[in-house]
Amino acid sequence: MRNASLLAVLLVRGVSAAPCTEGPPHYRSYQVGRVLVTSPIGFSGAGSYSRIAALLPLRPGTSFDPEAFQAGASLVAREIREGFAPLPLHIVAVGGTLENCDDAARTLDVHYLVYSTVLPALFPRAIEPLAGYDRTRGVYGGLRVHADSIRLDSAASNDNVTGTLSLVSGPWRLTAAYRDVLTSGEKLVQSTLSAGYFGSTKNFRYGASVEGGNDGIDAKFVAGWSSGTWTASYGLEIGDAFAKQVADLGYKVTLSPRPRQAADRANYIGIAHRPLTVEARLGAGVILPFGAVPFSERFFGGNQKFAFLAGSPWDVRGQPFLRSVTDNRLGGSGGTRFYAWNLTVAKAVYGRPLVPRELGTAEFVENLDFAIKTAEGELSDAYLAKDPQVTSPAAALDQIAGALDALKTAADPLPAALASDLGRAARTVASMRQGAVLGSVLATSILPKVEADLTQLESTLGADAAGRVATLRLQLESGRQVIARGQSDPAYAAARKRADAAAARDFQPVEKILDTILYDLDIYSIAPVAIFDVARVWPSGAPAQAAVGGGLRLSVVNLDFTLGYALNPKPAPGLGRGAFFIQLDGADLFR
């Protein structure tokens, strides 16, 4: 399953309205004021929720009806599942509340609260201005544009210009990149045009590109692996006169309070998280020359991250990262080997949880668990229906469906109880034909009830009509026995176990997403940051350099903005005592 991650700022909407104290039946015939459909995670441009509100049976100005109120919750859940995102798995829990009840005026507001792993597209065409300062470039400005099919990152100052432009079509990317920057020795000017392909599986990522520019034509290959808190990346570039390799190993863990047992879950929803985050990364690179290595392909390094492959959808670093040395100055006139180790520790001291405290109730947890188990059961049914070891009940279902259809005219009028049970049986048969495995319910509960109704009906009919009903009843019983035997088959039990295991495996990422949202995410938080780096580029004549420092981090959901200063304890000649650093990172929330 592909997870949907949040890539922009989300706004939490707290529950500030006064809840009504009585149950829905008490307010029958009150006049409806507002009808709201919102989420504890409010999306920028979430007009789809307003669209759903317009479809509800209760409208502003109408009389309140408890049955329509309950039906509205089901309609909201269905619209979200069907209309928001083409995900193979998603959970939707909808709770309806009545608010601002005025007994004197006999008015109230209706509010449906949506809690879902279905995430609408966030800022599909985001445009962000960029600005900053470092000693290499001075004051610089630029623009970042991330749209469905285009990516643009640019920055410019008096002496430095950098930029990449990527056109995206599925896994394919066409990227133009340009660098005109200062190093310790001379100007570095590089322009390239590359065509690349990138793919991924659950834990593995890969890509390749062919690149041409003012330094010749080369081929690049990248691969990456991630699992929980660990990541690893490797890159290989083959040029006319060299082969370059880079690799890194990363570790990141975020520690925040989690419930130790199921009974405590509600108490941990909406509390201040104040997580402790530890990030570490070890990287290295080597250039193997078999001719003159182009100046722009050497290792320089500094306090700016540089992608190994321009336009890559994930981070493979092509240069050493050291926060106490300004950009492109660590390696002097460029080296052919490097290593770098980076450590960042941040502890949030203030923040606001993404999910409001009002959702920390046993009722909400029960509703969410019910939604998860229902969806997981439906997925298990789908797997079971496709299992080759399970005998298809198609012939028995056809027999049962035919008998049910004929029984609709067994009497005029049909007894109400019989009509209801016939309808339920027909719906169950239809669901089974579409892949839902409900044979146990049909064989042990629904059809026996129908047969009991028919036995009672036979006693009220004439001989001929009773005979026809008895014949149809026997057809139902024959079909029921076929399905019941299939349920008791040892092969069925083994297939059900396989289907349950497959559904549970597929739902692990979903449950991880929900836990992250409930127990980890803040809409914003502020954290002091401590950093320590060590890096070296050689041959450059300079020993290993270090960075020790700190700063402040502002986190907005998964966007981390860090501002700080890193001191170089023993700077090599020309490198200076330290540097300010600015980092803007987007984290994968659901690793």
Structure confidence by residue, pLDDT tens digits, 150-180: 777 777 766 677 778 888 887 888 888 888 7
| pLDDT reported for residue 138 | 60
Q: For residue 389, count other CB atoms closer than 10 A to its CB.
A: 12
How far is residue 258 from each of residues 223, 315, 365, 471, 589, measured CA to CA in Å? 33, 29, 15, 61, 16
For CATH 2.40.160.50, the residue range(s) in the chain are: 186-350+524-586
| pLDDT reported for residue 173 | 85
CATH architecture for residues 186-350+524-586: Beta Barrel (2.40)
- Asked whether the beta carbons of 181 and 192 are under 8 A apart, the reply is no
| Cα 132 to Cα 303: distance, rounded to the nearest angstrom | 13
Percentage of residues in the chain having pLDDT higher than 70: 80
- The token duo for 387 is 């299992």
Residue from 166, 545, 83, 20 nearest 326 by CA: 545
User: Average of pLDDT values for 378-392?
Assistant: 72
- Asked whether the beta carbons of 461 and 469 are under 8 A apart, the reply is yes
**Long-range contacts at 459-465 (CB < 8 A, ≥ 24 apart):** 460/411, 461/410, 461/411, 465/410, 465/411
User: Average of pLDDT values for 305-327?
Assistant: 84
User: Average of pLDDT values for 385-403?
Assistant: 76
Mean pLDDT lowest among 26-35, 79-88, 208-217: 79-88
Mean pLDDT lowest among 226-235, 488-497, 540-549, 576-585: 488-497
User: Average of pLDDT values for 182-206?
Assistant: 80
- The token duo for 52 is 């759903």
User: Average of pLDDT values for 404-412?
Assistant: 82
At 184 the three-state DSSP class reads coil
Q: How confident is the model at residue 16 (pLDDT cuts 50, 70, 90)?
A: very low
- Asked whether the beta carbons of 239 and 225 are under 8 A apart, the reply is no
Q: Which residue has the tokens 């445009």?
A: 127
pLDDT (tens digit per residue) in 443-472: 777 888 888 888 888 888 888 888 888 898
Query: Which residue did the predictor score with more confidence, 537 or 433?
Result: 537
Query: Which residue did the predictor score with more confidence, 586 or 365?
Result: 365
Residue from 128, 162, 160 nearest 143 by CA: 128
Who contacts 377 (Cβ-Cβ below 8 Å, separation ≥6)? 503
At 371 the three-state DSSP class reads helix
Amino acid at 296: S
- Asked whether the beta carbons of 457 and 496 are under 8 A apart, the reply is no
| Cα 529 to Cα 533: distance, rounded to the nearest angstrom | 13
Whole-model pTM: value is 0.61
Mean pLDDT lowest among 339-343, 502-506, 534-538, 557-561: 557-561
Q: For residue 50, count other CB atoms closer than 10 A to its CB.
A: 11
Residue 250, strand partner residues: 231, 281
Q: How confident is the model at residue 82 (pLDDT cuts 50, 70, 90)?
A: low
| Cα 313 to Cα 173: distance, rounded to the nearest angstrom | 10
| Cα 30 to Cα 419: distance, rounded to the nearest angstrom | 34
